[in-house]
Structure 1
């Protein structure tokens, strides 16, 4: 598998682990000192959260307030730069929610991920999420 496929797999794994609430594993996609900032429309900014424990803790808090099943559909991966040590990737995200036999679009937006090569494989060093509206 080449670097681009490994990086795309990493970013997809983030969405999968997030949606399945596998918080212990979710931390493994980030570097120990990663940064995560979420902007919700023009309304508010959450973060930056620094460090994988703080990032996963924030995600866990959001997930615990949701009673539906969320699905992050991450697509349109665009590599803005790429070297053997680091890459910057922009992608779209569509968030779906299923409950009571109905699935709806909750929000959409984009990610900007800065990833780095580590001895354990590619990891997210910085993630920015810009949502079009709240969730």
Structure 2
């Protein structure tokens, strides 16, 4: 039986550049690096950077990271000051900034959790929403 997330792997084109981005901007802890990849972690989640032919999603698929509400404004400013590209504007509950990594992989920093989202849905349900 599945128990939860084990790790997340994303394709990158440059280990040094991506390792710097994910440690300096995202705040991940680097553990090891090799010629074509690196292992990092964030909040107990194992994250793998793996060199490959990068083909970022053209749809809404993305990886969202948790951020404390009090840290959000500073984080967004840091991204904007560095010229990190934002790929979407937030229209949902909680603070979110949607940004691209150096290879165009879609990321998000979100202040909120499943419970805050469900509470917001009680007040403003999505079209066709069904509670399960």
User: Taking structure 2 as the reference length, what is the TM-score of the superposition?
Assistant: 0.27
- Judging by fraction of residues, say which structure has more strand: 1
